[in-house]
Every structure is written in structure tokens, then in C-alpha cells.
Amino acid sequence: MMNKKLVSGFVAGVGMLAVTAVGYGQNTPSSSGKPDAPMSSSKATTKKANGEVTSVDAKGGKLMVKTATEELNLDVQASAAKKSLTNIKVGDKVNVSYEDKGGMLVANSVSKASGSSKNGMGSPSSDMGKSTKGH
């Protein structure tokens, strides 16, 4: 009889552990979802923006671009993108492809937008003048 009580107690204990494990298993996906969120944001997704250059440091690989909604402070690390900074000036309109790597915005490519820069704006207007004369 004592063995029956011992076995019954053991079975009841195992059953309680099983119920606890099932409850824990149900909560695990929601708690594992939280660590995945930072991991998914650390997996950089490429974003694109266009705007006006407010600051450029070709040697240091820094670029600030004011878009319609925000100002991006970009770190330019790729050699090709860094090289393109030598042709970019404050006031130029640029297209930028970048990634958010742990809070640091890293530019993958930087190119002048068509009809960009204060200096470049003179050319389209002079072209318009030529086409107007042609009419």
C-alpha cells in the first residue's frame, strides 16, 4: 500500500511538471519574439532616401542629408561610395542607399540626383532658355 502511495505521488509530480512544461512552452514564443526583434533590426535592411546635402566630409566619410521628413547623419564606409563624396557639395540633391547598423546609418551608395545642386540648377534653366528661343 505504501508503494501505491509512493507511485501515485510520483505520477502526480510528473504530471504537474508536464503541465508546467506545456504552460512554459506556450509562453516561450512570445518571449523569444522579443530577442528576435533586435536581431532582425541588426540584420540591416537597405533603405533609400533622397534629399539635400547639408554637410559633407569626403576624407572622413561623413555625409548629412536633409530629406523631406528627417536629417540623416550617414557614415560612408564603402570605398566606391566614399569616392563619390569628392564630387558632392553642400546644397547638392542626392540619392542615398543606406543601412541602419545598430543605430549607425551606413551609406552603401551616394549619387547626385538628376538636376541636382545649386550650381547644376543653372544648367537646366539655361537649357530651358535655349528651348524657349527655339520656339
Whether 52 and 9 map to the same domain: the answer is: no
CATH number assigned to the domain comprising residue 68? 2.40.50.320
Choice between 121 and 99, residue whose per-residue pLDDT is larger: 99
Query: Domain count of the chain?
Result: 2
Would the pLDDT of 64 be above 50? Answer: yes
Whether 36 and 65 map to the same domain: the answer is: no
Query: Cα–Cα distance between 47 and 28 in angstroms, integer?
Result: 32
CA 69 → CA 25, 48, 132, distances in Å?
Answer: 43, 13, 35
Domain span at residue 38 reads: 1-43
Whether 28 and 55 map to the same domain: the answer is: no
Whether 78 and 94 map to the same domain: the answer is: yes
The mean pLDDT value of the chain amounts to: 73
Whether 50 and 100 map to the same domain: the answer is: yes
Characterize 96-124 residue by residue with b for buried, 16 or more Cβ atoms within 10 angstroms of its Cβ, and e for exposed: bebeeeeeebbbbbbebeeebbeebeeee
Written as nine digits, the cell of 111 is 549619387
- Is the residue at 87 inside a domain? yes
pLDDT for 94-118, tens place per residue? 999 999 999 999 999 999 988 654 5
- Is the residue at 126 inside a domain? no
**Closest of 40, 55, 125, 45 to residue 94, by C-alpha:** 55
The dihedral sign for the CA sequence 68, 55, 84, 79: negative
Written as nine digits, the cell of 78 is 564603402
